[in-house]
Amino acid sequence: MDMTFSILGITGSLYGLVAGISVLCYLGAAVWLHRKAQFGTDAVLLYGILGIPLGIIVSRIFFCAANINYFMQTLEQPLKMLNFWDGGYSMAGMLLGLVLAALLAAKLTRLDFRTFLDAMVLPLGVLIFGLRMAEGLTDGLGIGRNIDSAVVTQSLPFLFINETFGTLELHRLAVFRLEAIFALLILGLMFWFRLRKNRRSGDLAMLFFALYGAGQVLFESMRSDGHMVMVFIRVQQVLGLLSILIALGIYCHRYGKTHGARDAVTAAWTMLPIMAVILWMMISPINHVLDLTGHIGLGVGILVMMGGYLVVFLRLKGANLRLILTWVAALLTVAACVMLEFSMDGSPHILRDYAMLGGFAVLLFLYPFSLFWTMTKTKALS
């Protein structure tokens, strides 16, 4: 199927058209939702005018950074990075571009950045839904592994793309459709979060990024389109994990402030079980990824650095047990995700593994969310 068309001799793409319409739907929803807010329609439109180029540029930068060797070494044509019209974008980069646009728009209209960002992420699921569905109008973007289960493929045909490979008919997961459905779920949850009283400014944005990041942990694993992959590392999955941990860090900091806990002391206590795990990896490998038996020097180096940090910051007072347990649980869940991800290739129980990874992704989101929930039970300080 030809995914392009021509207008006045200029080639356009169905993907780009759907992306453009999605942007308009998103901004239209934002204008409508906030028509009675202190900031007017102009602020949203200004955000859109800044957000479209910034989203494109940062998205392209992320893509090129993940594929830098392709442009610098394979092609030896770094200027090709400027060929925006040849395709190559990152969703994570686009989201960061939108955050920058919100920051600039808030500055220019003298609004509180965090409050404005909360307002802009509220309908962001609309945009992500459209962009994910647009992936279906490309050559293989958003396609996942072959699923060899007739029960599943026949009962949920919408979630599969059929493909002939040699003598076989394969049923590849249409991950882009799953991600589109998840975007609608995010949209619904954001409206639910908004109903929560005693929210702090910036809460909705952090919950959005934690939720989106949790989704990326699962869905990026399902994709087998090689998009944004450096060596064996799926970049958007790592960025998803990072966004959860950053949200968790900010919530921990806010929670600590209301409970008199000191961040550094909490972090120091958290390191004790991590050091035990590293020590274990130096004696006995957990799997071939988490194996330090052949790299004792590296393990000792990490332990010495962490030990130094402990000596400086570990005190008996100022730590908060809940924060320590939350961090330990979050880091263990991250480790579980890493181990599962690296053992999934070739697994005979791929659907079970996806279910487990989905469970871990839910847990990862629940760590910052639980702190948010607790804090909304008390009145906001600011």
Burial class (CB in 10 A: 0-12, 13-18, 19+), 227: buried
Task: Count CB atoms within 10 A of the CB of residue 225.
Answer: 17
Q: How far is the CB of 27 from another protein (least distance, A)?
A: 6
Give buried/exposed letters for 172-199 (b at 16+ CB in 10 A, else e): bbbbbbbbbebbeebbebbeebeeeeeb
Q: Kindly state the helix (H) or strand (E) to which residue 229 belongs, with its residue range.
A: strand 229-230
Q: How far is the CB of 18 from another protein (least distance, A)?
A: 9
Q: How far apart are CA 248 and CA 263, in angstroms?
A: 12
Residue span binding another protein (CB under 8 A) among the ranges 109-117, 133-141, 268-276, 307-315: 133-141
Task: Say whether residue 16 binds another protein (CB under 8 A).
Answer: yes
Instruction: List CB contacts of 73: < 8 A, sequence separation 6 or more.
Output: none
| Residue at 201: amino acid letter | S
Task: Say whether residue 261 binds another protein (CB under 8 A).
Answer: no
Q: How far is the CB of 149 from another protein (least distance, A)?
A: 13
Which residue in the set 78, 108, 140, 283 belongs to the binding site for another protein (CB under 8 A)?
Answer: 140
Task: Say whether residue 20 binds another protein (CB under 8 A).
Answer: yes
Which residue in the set 82, 139, 191, 305 belongs to the binding site for another protein (CB under 8 A)?
Answer: 139
Task: Say whether residue 123 binds another protein (CB under 8 A).
Answer: no
Would you give the distance in Å from CA 3 to the centre of its chain? 28
Which residue in the set 346, 377, 378, 379 belongs to the binding site for another protein (CB under 8 A)?
Answer: 346
Local structure of 192: helix, strand or coil: helix
Q: How far is the CB of 213 from another protein (least distance, A)?
A: 18
Task: Say whether residue 109 binds another protein (CB under 8 A).
Answer: no
Residues near another protein (CB under 8 A), total:
75
Q: Kindly state the helix (H) or strand (E) to which residue 146 belongs, with its residue range.
A: strand 143-146
If you write DSSP's letter for every residue of 161-182 in order, what string do you get?
EEEEETTEEEEEEEHHHHHHHH
Q: Binding marks (x or -) toward another protein, 51..90, rule CB under 8 A?
A: -xx--x----------xxxx--xxxxx--x--xxxxxxxx
Q: How far apart are CA 231 and CA 64, in angstroms?
A: 14
Which residue in the set 91, 101, 121, 206 belongs to the binding site for another protein (CB under 8 A)?
Answer: 91
By beta-carbon proximity to another protein, the closer residue of 112 and 139 is 139
Instruction: Characterise 59 by phi-psi region: left (phi > 0), alpha (psi -120 to 50), beta (else).
Output: alpha
Q: How far is the CB of 109 from another protein (least distance, A)?
A: 12
By beta-carbon proximity to another protein, the closer residue of 149 and 198 is 149
By beta-carbon proximity to another protein, the closer residue of 218 and 331 is 218
Which residue in the set 149, 283, 345, 349 belongs to the binding site for another protein (CB under 8 A)?
Answer: 345
Task: Say whether residue 162 binds another protein (CB under 8 A).
Answer: no
Instruction: Characterise 101 by phi-psi region: left (phi > 0), alpha (psi -120 to 50), beta (else).
Output: alpha
**Subset of residues 282 to 321 that bind another protein, contact rule: CB under 8 A:** 288
User: Interior CA angle at 133 toward 129 and 137, to 5°?
Assistant: 155
Task: Say whether residue 37 binds another protein (CB under 8 A).
Answer: no
Local structure of 125: helix, strand or coil: helix
Task: Say whether residue 12 binds another protein (CB under 8 A).
Answer: yes
CA atoms within 13 A on the CB side of 226: 4
By beta-carbon proximity to another protein, the closer residue of 110 and 317 is 110
**Subset of residues 222 to 241 that bind another protein, contact rule: CB under 8 A:** 223-227, 229
Task: Report the interhelical angle of 41-66 vs 14-33 (nearest 10°).
Answer: 140
Which residue in the set 166, 311, 317, 377 belongs to the binding site for another protein (CB under 8 A)?
Answer: 166
Which residue in the set 32, 35, 38, 49 belongs to the binding site for another protein (CB under 8 A)?
Answer: 49
Which residue in the set 135, 179, 203, 220 belongs to the binding site for another protein (CB under 8 A)?
Answer: 135
Which residue in the set 23, 99, 211, 357 belongs to the binding site for another protein (CB under 8 A)?
Answer: 23
Task: Say whether residue 11 binds another protein (CB under 8 A).
Answer: yes
Task: Say whether residue 110 binds another protein (CB under 8 A).
Answer: no
* Cβ–Cβ under 8 Å, residues 184 and 103: no
Q: What tokens were used for 238?
A: 């790592």
Specify the residue for token string 């994570």.
92
